[in-house]
Structure formats: structure tokens, C-alpha cells
């Protein structure tokens, strides 16, 4: 009886893993196509931190490359920031087993951040700026045409909320953009992927996760708190995160307040019905379940 139960559990686990794999590959492939993230002949530099997201990004891109209709190359890059106790061999050993060309860039940004940021204050902003500059330089040296980052759907929605709550602006995290220095194209192929799916994939694939000793223990960060709030919303109202992501791609400037995007001062009646007019306020979205068209499929 136990053998049968074990066999049934194994079959169920294999079925669920296969379903998850299909969903991840479909969502990443869709994001790449929607935003023309990867083009023929590209050399994509995948920034690998040692966290679940960047591992999954590399893993999925390797798989998609095998059946992609266009040729492109991948190179994995890790920035060794010299945190105390950082297991320097974990990533090289893993990448060798995957047969991936890689480059480890050693730069002691840890000491810089610790020296400049007072104890107890947020380190992420400075750390992120230092990393960006170094990775842009490395991309140029390696001849990379695209820089792929592991930000996922939840990161993008959280960034939108943080900019609204703390920055007073409607600004998110685009799936494709030109870098700060104007010399690189940055892409986020995980833009449509839920973080919970990445957590399950990391567990299934048994990635050798490396925690970040710089920011992993900063539980009071605004981003951490905003992410917790988003997860609580998602538990209460499944599909809300997907709807918020969808909203970022369906902007109605006439129903916001930015005069640079819509000529409010010159708006005049035309005598022609406008589908974006007052009727846009007739439905109360909070009183209705999310439309099936924007609810995440789980098959």
C-alpha cells in the first residue's frame, strides 16, 4: 500500500512539475515576443546573482534557446561583491555543469556600501547603482547586445506601488528599456511570471541558492513590506496582481491627471460619443470578480 501511495505521489509531483514548466516557458516566451526582447544574433548577458529568480531565468532561456526559431547566444555573468562568507565556487561549479559560458566579475562593492551607509539604513539603492555601472561595463567588454535581469511580475507590480506610495508618480519597471548610459538594452523576460511559480521551480530544480548578506536581513524595507501587502491581497483576491500588471499595459491618459499626456485644458464637446468618456466610471470594479480574460491560467 505504501509503495502504491509513493508511486501515486511521484506521478502527481511529475505531473505538477511538467505543468509548471509549460506555464513558465509559455509566459517567458510570450513576454519575449510581446516586447521583442531577443532578436536574431543577439548575445544575451544573463545577470546571475545566485537567487532563485536569476537561476530560473537562465534555466528557462537555455531551454527556450534549444527550440527558438532564431539563433542567439547566452553568457552568464555574476558580480562577486566580496560579501564575507560568500561561497565563490557555487556559481562557477553550477555553470560548468550546465555548459554555459560565464564570467565572474570581482569588485568589492560590499566594503563601499558598508562604509557609506549608516548602520540600520537601507543599502539597496547604493548597492544597485554600483552593480548597474559595473554590469554595463562588463556587457560592453563581452560584446553583449542585451542584458537580461531576473525581475518578475511581482517585482514590477511592487515597483509601481512603491512609486505611487512613496514617490508620488505612476512609474513601473518596463520589460524592455535602454540603460542609464544609453548604450545597452535591458530586458526582463520574467515580466509575466509570478514569484510563487519561481519559488516552486527553484525547489523542483534544486538550484544552489546563495543568500544576499547585504540585504537579506533588512525586513523593514519598504519593498519587503509592499511585497507582503501584495501577497496578502493576492490571497484574498486571486488574480489581482495579474490585473495590476495588465493595467500597466492599458493606460487611459484622459482619465489620469498628467497634462503632458492629455490636453485637458483644450478638451471640448464634439457631439460624438466617446467610449472612454463618463461611462468608464459606470462599473464598480471592486464589486465584481476579475474578468476571466485577465485571470492567470493554471494549466
Of residues 88 and 188, the one with the higher pLDDT is 188
For the domain spanning 2-246, the CATH number is 3.40.50.620
Alpha helices in 117-221 (DSSP H): 124-142, 153-162, 195-205
Confidence of residue 7 (pLDDT cuts 50, 70, 90): confident
Q: Does position 189 have pLDDT exceeding 80, yes or no?
A: yes
172 Cβ contact partners less than 8 Å away, ≥ 6 residues apart: 156, 157, 159, 160, 163, 248
Q: Does position 235 have pLDDT exceeding 50, yes or no?
A: yes
Domain residue ranges in the chain:
2-246
pTM of the model: 0.85
239-246 average pLDDT score: 94
Q: Does position 232 have pLDDT exceeding 60, yes or no?
A: yes
Tally of CA atoms within 13 A in the half-sphere of 233 that contains its CB: 17
Per-residue pLDDT tens over the stretch 116-171: 777 666 666 777 788 888 999 999 999 999 999 999 999 999 999 999 999 999 99
Is the Cβ–Cβ distance between 21 and 184 less than 8 Å? no
247-270 average pLDDT score: 91
Predicted confidence at residue 202, as pLDDT, reads 97
| Strand residues in 41-81 grouped as ranges (E) | 43-47, 73-80
Tell me how far apart the alpha carbons of residues 59 and 72 are, in angstroms, rounded to a whole number.
Answer: 15
Q: Does position 213 have pLDDT exceeding 70, yes or no?
A: no
Amino acid at each position: 500500500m505504501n509503495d502504491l501511495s509513493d508511486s501515486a505521489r511521484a506521478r502527481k509531483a511529475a505531473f505538477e512539475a511538467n505543468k509548471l514548466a509549460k506555464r513558465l516557458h509559455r509566459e517567458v516566451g510570450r513576454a519575449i515576443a510581446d516586447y521583442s526582447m531577443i532578436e536574431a544574433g543577439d548575445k544575451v548577458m544573463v545577470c546571475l546573482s545566485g537567487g532563485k529568480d536569476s537561476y530560473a531565468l537562465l534555466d528557462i532561456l537555455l531551454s527556450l534557446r534549444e527550440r527558438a526559431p532564431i539563433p542567439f547566444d547566452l553568457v552568464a555573468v555574476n558580480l562577486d561583491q566580496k560579501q564575507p562568507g560568500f561561497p565563490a565556487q557555487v556559481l562557477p561549479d553550477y555553470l560548468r555543469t550546465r555548459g554555459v559560458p560565464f564570467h565572474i566579475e570581482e569588485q568589492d562593492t560590499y566594503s563601499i556600501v558598508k562604509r557609506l551607509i549608516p548602520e540600520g539604513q537601507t543599502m539597496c539603492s547604493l548597492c544597485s547603482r554600483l552593480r548597474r555601472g559595473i554590469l554595463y561595463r562588463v556587457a560592453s567588454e563581452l560584446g553583449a547586445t542585451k542584458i537580461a535581469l531576473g525581475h518578475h511580475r511581482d517585482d514590477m507590480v511592487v515597483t509601481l506601488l512603491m512609486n505611487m506610495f512613496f514617490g508620488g508618480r505612476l512609474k513601473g519597471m518596463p520589460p524592455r528599456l535602454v540603460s542609464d548610459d544609453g548604450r545597452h538594452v535591458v530586458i526582463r523576460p520574467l515580466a509575466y511570471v509570478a514569484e510563487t511559480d519561481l519559488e516552486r521551480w527553484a525547489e523542483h530544480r534544486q538550484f544552489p541558492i546563495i543568500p544576499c548578506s547585504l540585504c537579506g536581513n533588512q525586513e523593514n524595507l519598504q519593498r519587503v513590506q509592499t511585497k507582503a501587502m501584495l501577497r496578502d491581497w493576492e490571497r484574498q483576491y486571486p488574480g489581482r496582481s495579474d490585473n495590476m500588471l495588465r493595467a500597466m499595459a492599458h493606460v487611459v491618459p484622459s482619465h489620469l491627471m498628467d497634462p503632458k499626456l492629455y490636453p485637458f485644458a483644450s478638451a471640448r464637446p464634439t457631439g460624438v460619443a466617446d467610449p472612454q468618456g463618463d461611462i468608464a466610471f459606470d462599473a464598480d470594479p471592486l464589486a465584481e470578480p476579475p474578468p476571466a480574460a485577465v485571470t492567470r491560467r493554471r494549466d
